[in-house]
Amino acid sequence: MDSHTGQAGNVTVNFSQIGDFHSDSHRPLPNDADIIEVVFKKQKMCNWTVDIAVKCPDKPAVEDIDVEETVD
């Protein structure tokens, strides 16, 4: 699914029934993540955005999170 363009923050995602979608990524997709939702949105200026929600298997359990290491 992830075809990296070679530029930091830019990726090309291929959707089998739509084709290639060029995107600026905010975070890399982990290799072991499962995609659970893809949402396409058309913006006012005729630009399209895509939101990809993933489930990462290595997410720590809530009780294992140290509150001192979190961001306010």
What is the widest separation between alpha-carbon atoms in the chain? 46
Beta strands in the chain (DSSP E): 2-4, 10-15, 19-24, 34-42, 48-55
CA–CA separation, 55 and 33 (whole Å): 6
CA–CA separation, 19 and 5 (whole Å): 15
pLDDT at 2 (0 to 100): 43
Q: What is the pLDDT along the chain (72 residues), one digit of tens a residue?
A: 444 445 556 777 788 888 887 777 777 777 777 889 888 888 888 777 778 888 877 777 888 888 787 765
pTM beyond 0.75, yes or no: no
CB atoms within 10 A of CB 29: 15
